[in-house]
A = this chain, B = another copy of it.
Amino acid sequence: MQYTLSISTRSRAELVDITAQVQDVVRKSEVSKGICMVYVPHTTAGITINEGTDLDVPRDILEQLERLVPRDGPYRHVEGNADAHIKASLLGSSVLIPVSGGELSLGTWQAVLFGEFDGPRTRRVIVQVIGS
Contact = CB atoms under 8 A, between A and B. Distances in A.
B54 A77 contact: yes
Interface of A: 1-2, 33-35, 37, 39-43, 48-51, 54, 56-57, 59-61, 63-64, 68-69, 73-79, 82, 85-86, 88-98, 100, 105-110, 124, 126, 128-132
A14 B95 CA distance: 23
Given A1-B132, A51-B43, A56-B77, A86 B98 contact: no
A48 B41 CA distance: 12
B43 A60 contact: no
Contacts of A54: 77, 79
8 contacts: A37-B96, A39-B97, A41-B110, A43-B109, A48-B93, A50-B89, A56-B76, A60-B76
A2 B100 contact: yes
